[in-house]
Chain A
Amino acid sequence: MIWSDPSTMTPEIMTWDLPSLVVILPLLAAVAAFLLPSAAVGIGLGATALVGAASSALAARLLASGPEISHLGGWTVPLGIALRVDGFAALMLVTTAGIGMLVGLAASRSFAAKGATEAPAEERQRLFFWPLWLLLLAGLNALYLSSDVFNIYISLEILGLSAVGLAVLSGKAAALRAGLTYLFAGLLGSLLFLLGVDYLYAATGRVDLASLGAIDEMTPALSMALVLMLAGLAIKTALFPLHFWLPAAHSNATAPASALLSALVVKGSLYVALRLWVDVFAPTAGLGTLIGLLGAGAIVWGSIQAMRVDRLKLLVAYSTVAQIGLICLVFALTDEIGGETAWQGAVYLILAHAAAKSAMFLAVGRIAEHLGHDSLERLHREPLRPGMAQVAFALAAVSLIGLPPSAGFLGKWLLLEGAMRADAWLWVGVMVLGTMLSVAYLMRPISGFLRFDRVEGPVIMPSRLDAADLWPLGLAVVAIAMGLLAATPLSLLAVGSPFVVPEVVP
C-alpha cells in the first residue's frame, strides 16, 4: 500500500483510464494464466502488482482532483456503462490489491512446484489458484467501480463463481460439499438481488445509481426492491442467520483461499449493501434497526460458536460471522446525527478485518502445516511451537479485538463515537459485549500457544525464520499499522463522501 505523491507523477498517468485498466488487466491476466500454466505464478504476481500500482495511482489522483467517472467506449449513461470512482471505491481497490499481493506471495510458496513427486491435488492447486484469484480480483474491482445495479449483479456473479472455485481448490469431498452449499447460497443471493433490480427498473425505468439516488420518495415498489436486494446481499455477506454456508466453506478451503474468501469476498457484497444504503436509497429507519439487530445476533451467535468449536480454522471462520455482525451495526446508525462517523468506522473496520483475517487464516495454515492438525484441545500439549506464525496470529487478534493502536481499534472507536453521538446506547452496549466476547474466543488459541506445563518432553521451537511466516506477519503488521497511519485513508474516504452535500454549480 503505497501512497504516491500526486505532484511527482508524470502527466501521462494523470490522463490514463485507470478505472478501466484495473478491471480489464486482471481479466486478461486470468485468461493468460489459465492458458500458460507454466508462467501462471509470474503472470499472477505481476498482474496483481500492476493492479496495485494502478489502484494507488488512482487513489493519489482522487486525492488531488476528486471523484471521477469513466464512460466505457465513450457511451454515456443511461445507454452506456460507466465506472465511477470515489474515495470509498479507491480505498477498497488499494486494500484488495495490497492484501491480494501478500496472500499471493504466500500462495506462490505454498503451491510451489514440487517436480515429479507432485500429487494431482497439489498440481491442481498450483495450476488453478492464479486464474481463479485474478478472476476474483477482476470481479471485485468491477464491483467497486460499477455505477449501475445491473453491472453490480454481473460483478457479483463473477465474484461468486470464482470464489466457489477457490473454496473447492483442495479437491477434498468436504470442501466440495461445502463449496456446493456456498454456490447454491450465493446463486440464491444474486437471484434475489436480480429480482430487486427488476422491481427497481419496473418502478423507475432506471438502473444507474446516480439517477436512482436522486429519487427522494420511497414508494412501496422501491422499498420492496431495496428489501430484496439487501436480502440477497445478506446471504452473500453471511449476515446472521443467513451465515449457514460460511463456516464450512471457509474452514475447508486451503489457507490462501480461506484468507481471500474471508478477507475480501464477503466484503464485496457488504460494500454494495453499504453503498446502496448510504448513497442511493432514502433512509428507512425500521429496516436499519432490523439489520442492526441481525448484526447483534451475529456477534452473539458467531462468538458463542467460536467458543465451542474444536478446530482452530473453524474458530477463525466463526469469528468472521461475528465481525460481519459488528460492521453491520452501522446500518442502524447512518440515519442519526453521528452517521458519517459511524460510516467511517464501518469502512475502516472492513479494511482492518480484511488485513487481520487474511493474516490469521495464513497463520493458522502455517500452524496446521507444522503440527499436522488444527485441534484446539491439543494445542497446549504440542511440544512443537511454530513461534512466528503464533506471533502473527496474536498480532491479528489484537486488531480483531480492537486494542489500540490497531486499525480495528480505530474502526471500532469511530463506530462507537457515531453511536454515542446518536445517543444509541443499545448499540454501544452491543459493541462492548462483542469486544468482550471476541477477547474470550481469541484467548482460547492464544492461551494454548502460551501454556507449556502440559508438554511431555522438551519444547521445540523452530529457530530459523522461515520466509513463509513473513507474509502472515506482514499482513498482521499492516492491520496494526493502518491504525497509526489512518490520516491518508480517512481523507481519501472523504473524497466524494455521500454525507457531504455537493456544492451546486450555478
Chain B
Amino acid sequence: MSTALLYSFGGILLIGVALHRLVLTTDLLRRVVALNVFAAGIASLLIAAAYRGPEAAADPVPHAFVLTGIVVLVSTTAAALALIRRLDDLERSVDHDT
C-alpha cells in the first residue's frame, strides 16, 4: 500500500469516527473535539492528494488549503469554546440563585 493511500484511508477513518461521535454525543465539548477530528481527517485527505511520488515535489495548492483550513478551524473552535463557557457561567448562576 502506498503512503498516499495510507493517509487517505487514515483520513476517511478519522472522518467516520468524528461523524459517529458528533451524532451520538450531546456533550458540547465532545462535539467541538469531534469537529476538530473531522477537520483533521479532511486535512489528511488533502495532504494525501498533494503527494506526487517520492521523487517529485508535492503539489503546494492542497497544502495552502490545509493551512487556511487550520486558521478557520482555530478561530471557529475559539468561538465555540467562548460560547460554551458563557453558557456554563449562565447555567451556574441560575443554579446558584435557586
Residues of A whose CB lies within 8 Å of any CB of B are 150, 154, 157, 160-161, 164-165, 168, 171, 173, 176-177, 179-180, 183-184, 187-188, 191, 194-195, 197-198, 201-202, 207
Give which listed residue, B22, B49, B94, contacts A198 with CB less than 8 A: B49
For the A-B complex with A157-B76, A183-B79 known, give 12 more contacts whose Cβ atoms are closer than 8 Å.
Answer: A154-B68, A161-B79, A171-B86, A173-B87, A180-B28, A180-B80, A183-B76, A183-B83, A184-B31, A194-B69, A198-B46, A198-B49
Pairs across A and B, CB under 8 Å, 9 listed: A176-B83, A176-B86, A176-B90, A177-B87, A180-B87, A184-B31, A195-B42, A201-B61, A207-B61
CB distance from A113 to the nearest CB of B (A): 23
CA distance in complex: A198, B80 (Å)? 25
- Return the 3 tightest CB-CB contacts between A and B, nearest first: A202-B49, A176-B87, A173-B90
The secondary structure that dominates the A interface is: helix
The reply to whether B42 and A173 contact each other, CB–CB distance below 8 Å, is no
Residue of B with least CB distance to A157: B72
Residues of B within 8 A of A164 (CB): 79, 83
The reply to whether B38 and A188 contact each other, CB–CB distance below 8 Å, is yes
CA distance in complex: A81, B71 (Å)? 19
How many residues in B have their beta carbons less than 8 Å from beta carbons of A? Answer: 29
The reply to whether A191 and B39 contact each other, CB–CB distance below 8 Å, is yes
CA distance in complex: A165, B76 (Å)? 11
The reply to whether A184 and B80 contact each other, CB–CB distance below 8 Å, is yes
Residues of B whose CB lies within 8 Å of any CB of A are 15, 22, 28, 31-32, 35, 38-39, 42, 45-46, 49, 61-62, 65, 68-69, 72, 75-76, 79-80, 83-84, 86-87, 90-91, 94
Residues of B within 8 A of A201 (CB): 49, 61-62, 65
CB distance from B73 to the nearest CB of A (A): 8
Residues of B within 8 A of A154 (CB): 68, 72
The reply to whether B69 and A188 contact each other, CB–CB distance below 8 Å, is no
CA distance in complex: A240, B94 (Å)? 35
Residue of B with least CB distance to A165: B79
Give which listed residue, A180, A188, A202, contacts B22 with CB less than 8 A: A188
The reply to whether A195 and B87 contact each other, CB–CB distance below 8 Å, is no
